[in-house]
Structure 1
Amino acid sequence: MLEDVIRLGLVDEDEIVLDEAALSLARLDHPDVDEGPYHRLLEAVAVRLETIGEGAATAHERAAALSSVLADAFGFAGDQATYDDPANADLIRVIDRRRGLPVSLSILYVSAARRLGWAANVLDVPGHVLVLVGDASAPVIVDPFRGGALVEPEDLGALLMAASPGPSPAVRHVAAMPNRAVLVRLLLNQAIRAERSGKGRRALELYTRMTMMAPDHGPAWWERARLEGIDGDVAAARNSLTSLLEVTRDPELRARVAETLTALVAP
């Protein structure tokens, strides 16, 4: 199973199938679970979407079909009652419970759309994740956490304003997330919650998976090194910081890493 994660770090970005990759990550925590039913569920979603979305040509029509299938027919929705439950970022548990975080639900929407050849991307909005359906000429934004509801321009503007309250400049830019960045976001949700609940070694395990799957993602190497240091594994922390130096060109970060390496000596 770990080999699947390593493979994710080696394949081209465009070769990553988001929901299949997210299942591979989740399976690391459920080694005895039969993946068959979960793959069949994803196939069933695609078949239903092909039927419901037959003839859907515009982004609005395709967005409506996605909502009809994933939210109405299969019951996927945001977990507002227990938002911080780690199960919400574990695709196996998301499928079991039909509840999840914005990023895990967005993975299901985008993957289903792409199986039909529809243009769809996970959209990084400060403090939230949405789905962009359609190409750049006439796209539609939907919110899988709210049952695939359409996000109108004024709604998006409100989200951006809420992300930058006070005197700081307003956030005005949102961007489609590359596939690996989406998976990192999924694991990051779990890692942050693990550390908040005092499970440092669980968080370290998740950051380690991030560095395997996205070896060029510098922040994961930094967090991995930090937790390895807390765990007393100085050699591992130094190795992680050295790996970070290999992937970042940021002069300030490189100076910070070099300083930390100098200070990080075996007891």
Structure 2
Amino acid sequence: MTREEAEAVLAQAGERPDGAFPLLDCAIACAIHDYPFRDADGVRILADHAAQRLKERAAQESPDEALTEALAGDLRLNGDLLNYDHPANTDVIDVAERRRGLSAVLVIFYLDAARRAGLSAAPVDFPGHVLLRVETPEGPVALDPFSQGRLVLPSELTRRALLAGLTPHVADRLDLLMAPVSERQALIRLQNILFNRALHAGDYESAERSALRRALLDPEDHRPWLDVAAAREKQGALTGAMHALSRARTLGEPLVACDVRLDRMRLQLN
């Protein structure tokens, strides 16, 4: 798959409703968009094994136990504690090979397997960490894909929320801490991680690509185009930056703020 073909996959997915969002296909397209022409068969094979193991376990175990044992136990998917900032931890193709990664990538395999096994699960955009909300007969529970899929008790959720800087009033609200988001938003969060890492490293080409992927995945959101513009400006691609700002302006960015940046770039071109 080329970079252009990956963009086409993401653009088509961006037009689909959340209920029909092809998470695994989009995660693969995002990875190939960064580094094209790679073989993604390992991702699909791992996803197939995960779904099959989960179906077998779900017939005898509770939904949360089945997910933990199938994904973390049988398939050894876990967080990479020793090399947390390694680029491979944010790439679904590398994670499938290494069986190690960030929770934002690991949760993709959990969600794909849960859907195919008929279980109800959703990502939780928790501060600093992506968790998995699983519906059980006793009520919803939270699993941590980074920590061998273990159950996160309500007291631990509150403690983590306080450490992340949330106020005690919010940190005590389990309905807020466990509020599900769409699978689209979970993949967009991964692109945000990549964008911030690339900016920190001064890799503005990678930053532009991750921002562009966010724009394709959520075509109604103007904010990714602002990041595309910023990354292009850092590269000296002022015409491309102005085009991105115009897209943001069309989608809802306040006109005054956008026009000020456009005028500044026009001055640089003259």
Asked if TM exceeds 0.5, the reply is: yes
After superposition, where does 1:74-89 map in structure 2 within 5 Å? 74-89=75-90
Equivalent residue for 2:185?
181
Matched residue SS, 2:70: helix
Matched residue SS, 1:156: helix
Residue 238 (structure 1) aligned with residue 242 (structure 2): yes
Cα 1:254–1:163 shift into 2, 3 Å: farther
Report which stretch shifted further, 154-163 or 196-205.
196-205
Equivalent residue for 1:142?
143
Contact kept in structure 2, 1:52 and 1:65, CA below 8 Å: yes
Distance of 1:19 and 1:220 partners within structure 2:
21
Residue 19 of structure 1 is aligned with which of 15, 24, 32? 24
After superposition, where does 1:56-205 map in structure 2 within 5 Å? 56=61, 61-134=62-135, 138-164=139-165, 170-171=170-171, 172=173, 173-174=176-177, 175-205=179-209
Residue 214 (structure 1) aligned with residue 218 (structure 2): yes
Report which stretch shifted further, 26-35 or 201-210.
26-35
Give me the TM-score of the superposition, normalised by structure 2: 0.88
Q: Which residue identity is paired with 1:13? A: D
Matched residue SS, 1:83: coil
User: Alpha-carbon deviations, 1:211-263, whole Å to 9, x = none?
Assistant: 122222333111111111222222221221121122236xxx44322322233
Q: Once the 2 structures are TM-superposed, how far is the Cα of residue 136 of structure 1 from its aligned partner?
A: 10
Cα 1:83–1:232 shift into 2, 3 Å: same
Residue 33 (structure 1) aligned with residue 38 (structure 2): yes
Distance of 1:191 and 1:254 partners within structure 2:
25
Matched residue SS, 1:134: strand
Matched residue SS, 1:176: coil
Distance of 1:242 and 1:99 partners within structure 2:
40
Residue 54 (structure 1) aligned with residue 59 (structure 2): yes
Contact kept in structure 2, 1:17 and 1:111, CA below 8 Å: no
User: Alpha-carbon deviations, 1:164-199, whole Å to 9, x = none?
Assistant: 16x897554333122221111112212221221221
Q: Once the 2 structures are TM-superposed, how far is the Cα of residue 143 of structure 1 from its aligned partner?
A: 0.5
Cα 1:229–1:151 shift into 2, 3 Å: same
Distance of 2:10 and 2:56 partners within structure 1:
33
Equivalent residue for 1:42?
47
Distance of 1:262 and 1:34 partners within structure 2:
44
Alignment gaps of 5+ in structure 2:
none
Contact kept in structure 1, 2:13 and 2:26, CA below 8 Å: yes
Contact kept in structure 1, 2:122 and 2:181, CA below 8 Å: yes
Cα 1:239–1:31 shift into 2, 3 Å: closer
Q: Which residue identity is paired with 1:140? A: V
Q: Which residue identity is paired with 1:101? A: L
Contact kept in structure 1, 2:162 and 2:168, CA below 8 Å: no
Contact kept in structure 2, 1:46 and 1:116, CA below 8 Å: yes
Contact kept in structure 2, 1:164 and 1:170, CA below 8 Å: no
Q: Once the 2 structures are TM-superposed, how far is the Cα of residue 17 of structure 1 from its aligned partner?
A: 2.6
Matched residue SS, 1:123: strand
Matched residue SS, 1:237: helix
Distance of 1:137 and 1:264 partners within structure 2:
57
Q: Tell me how large the CA RMSD over aligned residues is.
A: 2.2
Contact kept in structure 1, 2:11 and 2:216, CA below 8 Å: yes
Q: Once the 2 structures are TM-superposed, how far is the Cα of residue 54 of structure 1 from its aligned partner?
A: 0.8
Give me the TM-score of the superposition, normalised by structure 1: 0.89
Q: Which residue identity is paired with 1:15? A: A
Identity of aligned residues (%): 29
Q: Which residue identity is paired with 1:226? A: A
The structure carrying a bigger helix percent of its residues is 2
Q: Once the 2 structures are TM-superposed, how far is the Cα of residue 137 of structure 1 from its aligned partner?
A: 7.5
Matched residue SS, 1:161: helix
